[in-house]
């Protein structure tokens, strides 16, 4: 009896697999093959109606899996409903139409984006899975021979003056006349989302936007976007909570993973409980971006990451939001100067400065935002610019810890073109957006309760004259430096390894430096330090 029962189960499984592979569907089958609804994977037929019919039929039967066999399926906008999985077999490509008219207006707008290739609104239990690909068809919307103009700064304030502008080969390409679709995949006010195994490629704008969502898992997804497409972020998380992203390969023409606003037209929820792990990120802006945001962001972890980018990790407050309780652990960061894009080679950037009139935000808000309780541990850095902590307001950045950080500072072939600047753009005043500044390995301004322990700095020889100290901190309250080992970036003996200025409350313990410790402030304790000639 047991044998017969097992045989019946085996036969049932075989029948289910057969129906799945051959696209057979009826009211009792959970599989709906798009070819049964007239879709053609010939990379020529527009399949929007056929695919949407398959999804709608699946939804009317209580949900299930909409199957894409091997082939290239051109389509315009499609919508996903409750309890729907889109499954792309190996060799299946769901490709965006080259005609902008085939992308439907969602009826909601945020930061000017109101169209999407694939979207769901107020849906639950939805997924996109498989070994196939979603292709945004970026070439249909980009002019690869023209450079996208830079914005939001005045070059007069830069070290290079009027010559500071975007250039190829790193600079972004321009859009073709007529524009581009808004977002490749958009989920708005959705719950229980699963994206697994697929490749997302050639996005002409953002790849995946999670707006006002709850319970999201993105696992083993391969993002392969052109590094020349402006705004080709991989994942944007806005006003959402309980999001886990792991085991992904990310190549993004703009931010890799952005925990940001851009859901102002959708909802006003706060963002919390975001976990990112085991990813490699190649980016042309910030590999990890947190903020700026209208609502607060809290309780996020980032671990086991490898980063190659203009800017490694960026945390930005420009409104009155609170960004707090963020942990970074076991991360390798490589940043360099590029001939285009935002980011100026900083491995870690934390800044608070009013946004100003950009997007019609009041120039100076009654309250300013705060960034607090941020931890960095076990970080390996190779960079061509500083770690930067820059608060415009006093004590705007609070309780920041760096533990076990090794930092190697490299010379750059683009120093004459882009080097020797800080970038805080956009800002209420262009003199703070992108501006000439000396370059230490670690810079902090208006930070309260900063702890640096076991920080090691080494460098190439022959760095530019604007490269100065290993650590430069000013306008601070309470700083602790323990176990620093290193030397100034400058080979000029006039520069100290550690320079502390215009602050109050500092302790330096157990440091080994080539170059002295220079302090121009009150209440300094220097203990058990060794200065080498």
d(CA 513, CA 484): 7
Least confident of 113-117, 134-138, 184-188, 205-209: 113-117
- Quick one: which of 481, 475, 402 has its CA closest to 445? 475
- DSSP assignment string, 100-146: GGGS-EEEEEETTEEEEEEEEES-EEEEEEES-EEE--GGGTEEEEE
Phi then psi for residue 138, to 5 deg, are -60, -35
Q: What does the mean pLDDT of the chain come to?
A: 89
pLDDT at residue 355, rounded to an integer: 83
Structure confidence at residue 434 as a pLDDT band (50, 70, 90):
very high
Measured CA to CA in angstroms, residue 386 lies from 153, 404, 407, 469, 527 at distances of 20, 17, 10, 10, 26
Provide the Cα torsion 529, 530, 531, 533; round to 10°.
-170
d(CA 354, CA 361): 9
Q: Is the pTM of this model over 0.75?
A: yes
Q: Within a 13 Å sphere around the CA of 318, how many CA atoms are in the beta-carbon half?
A: 26
pLDDT in tens, 211-223: 999 999 999 999 9
The stretch 475-495 carries a mean pLDDT of 91
- Alpha-carbon radius of gyration of the chain: 26
């Amino acid at each position: 009896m047991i044998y017969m029962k097992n045989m019946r189960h085996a036969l049932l499984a075989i029948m289910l697999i057969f129906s799945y592979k051959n696209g057979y569907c009826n009211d009792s089958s959970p599989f709906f093959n798009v070819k049964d609804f007239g879709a053609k994977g010939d990379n020529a037929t527009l399949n929007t109606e056929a695919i949407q019919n398959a999804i709608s039929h699946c939804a009317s039967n209580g949900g299930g899996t909409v199957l894409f066999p091997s082939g290239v399926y051109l389509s315009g906008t499609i919508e996903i409903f409750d309890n729907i999985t889109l499954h792309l077999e190996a060799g299946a490509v769901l490709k965006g139409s080259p005609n902008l008219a085939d992308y439907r207006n969602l009826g909601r707008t945020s930061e000017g984006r109101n169209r999407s290739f694939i979207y769901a609104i107020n849906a639950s239990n939805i997924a996109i899975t498989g070994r196939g690909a979603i292709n945004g068809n970026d070439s249909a919307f980009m002019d690869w021979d023209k450079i996208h103009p830079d914005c939001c700064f005045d070059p007069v304030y830069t070290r290079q003056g009027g010559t500071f502008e975007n250039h190829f080969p790193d600079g972004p390409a321009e859009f073709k006349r007529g524009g581009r679709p808004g977002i490749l995949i958009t989920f708005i006010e959705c719950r229980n989302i699963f994206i697994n195994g697929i490749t997302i490629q050639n996005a002409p704008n953002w790849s995946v936007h999670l707006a006002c969502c709850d319970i999201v898992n993105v696992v083993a997804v391969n993002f392969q976007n052109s590094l020349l497409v402006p705004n080709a972020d991989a994942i944007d998380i806005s006003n959402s909570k309980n999001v886990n992203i792991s085991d992904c390969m990310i190549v993004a023409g703009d931010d890799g993973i952005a925990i940001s606003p851009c859901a102002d037209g959708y909802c006003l929820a706060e963002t919390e409980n975001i976990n990112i792990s085991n990813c490699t990120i190649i980016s042309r802006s910030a590999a990890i971006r947190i903020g700026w945001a209208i609502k607060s962001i809290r309780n996020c972890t980032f671990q086991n990451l490898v980063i190659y980018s203009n800017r490694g990790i960026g945390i930005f407050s420009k409104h009155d939001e609170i960004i707090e309780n963020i942990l970074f652990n076991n991360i390798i960061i490589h940043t360099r100067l590029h001939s285009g894009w935002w980011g100026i080679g900083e491995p870690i950037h934390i800044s608070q400065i009013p946004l100003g009139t950009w997007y019609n935000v009041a120039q100076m808000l009654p309250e300013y935002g705060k960034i607090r309780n941020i931890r960095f541990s076990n970080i390996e850095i190779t960079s061509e610019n500083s770690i930067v902590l820059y608060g415009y307001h006093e004590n705007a950045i609070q309780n920041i810890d760096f533990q076990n950080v090794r930092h190697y500072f490299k010379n750059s072939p683009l120093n004459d073109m882009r080097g020797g600047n800080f970038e805080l753009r956009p800002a209420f005043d262009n003199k703070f957006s992108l501006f000439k500044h000396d370059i230490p390995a670690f810079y902090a301004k208006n930070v309260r309760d900063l702890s640096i322990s076991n920080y090691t700095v080494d460098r190439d020889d022959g760095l530019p004259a604007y490269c100065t100290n290993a650590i430069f901190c000013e306008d601070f309250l309470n700083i602790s430096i323990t176990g620093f080992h290193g030397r100034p970036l400058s080979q000029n003996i006039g520069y100290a390894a550690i320079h502390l200025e215009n602050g109050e409350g500092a302790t330096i313990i157990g440091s080994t430096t080539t170059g002295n410790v220079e302090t121009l402030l009150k209440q300094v304790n220097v203990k058990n330090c060794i200065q080498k000639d």
